[in-house]
Amino acid sequence: MKLPVYALIDLSSGKAERFEIDEKLYRNYIGGKTLGARLLYDLTPAGLDPLSPEAVVIINTSPANGTGAPSSSRFNMTFKNVLTGGIASSNCGGQFGVMMKRAGYDGIIIKGAGKTPCTVSIIDGRITISDAGELWGKDAEETQEAFRKSTANSSSAPPANTLSVSRPPSPASVSRGDAARAPCSAQKRSRRSWLTARNVRKSTTAKGLTNT
């Protein structure tokens, strides 16, 4: 059985590593919202502050993602609800889920707090964390436009498909790049994540900007 590939990205240490999903967990929860909820339960100590650097944000897909089946391009975000302390889950369409999977991962788990704003890039399975101070302070739409310009100025094509978070008082709103004016949103924490996915010729890139 082919198991899903997940990555654990720790912004505090600046390190990323494979996060193993065993066969029993996969068979019981499959992917998307159900697997995200189980992982959140396992990775969140009782009473943890949703705004703590140890709180995780899980972005994942299902086994059908990228197959061309109806509605299979969707992805899910799971996190501890800032308002209630329970499980929060948001599901969204567009191309981001497919791009993340083509970049090499069925899901990513983000934790920690970077010392400065940073981008998380995934290119052909390789994860890098870089400084992104030039994007700090921008709202969701401005961030997406900056990613589009950076893509247009490189040899990469087509323009980036982005997930961005604005910076209102907590909770924040996350929107994908092709829906900035009518966002597919999730509530987590202010100043949290910018994520991008794009095709790079024959390879695929997933990028993200995140800081707490």
Contact by Cβ (8 Å): 83, 171: yes
Alpha-helix residue ranges (DSSP H) falling in the chain: 23-29, 32-43, 96-102, 140-152
Q: Tell me the pLDDT of the chain (212 aa) as tens digits.
A: 899 999 999 999 999 999 999 999 999 999 999 999 999 999 999 999 998 999 999 999 999 998 989 888 899 999 999 889 999 998 888 888 888 898 899 999 999 988 888 878 888 898 988 888 888 777 767 877 787 777 665 544 344 455 654 444 455 556 665 554 444 444 333 333 345 433 333 333 344 444 33
**Residue-range domains of the chain with CATH:** 6-210 (3.60.9.10)
What's the angle, vertex CA 144, arms to CA 109 and CA 191, rounded to 5? 50
Q: End-to-end CA distance of the chain, in Å?
A: 37
Tell me the whole-structure pTM to 2 decimals. 0.79
Q: Containing H/E element for 87?
A: strand 87-92
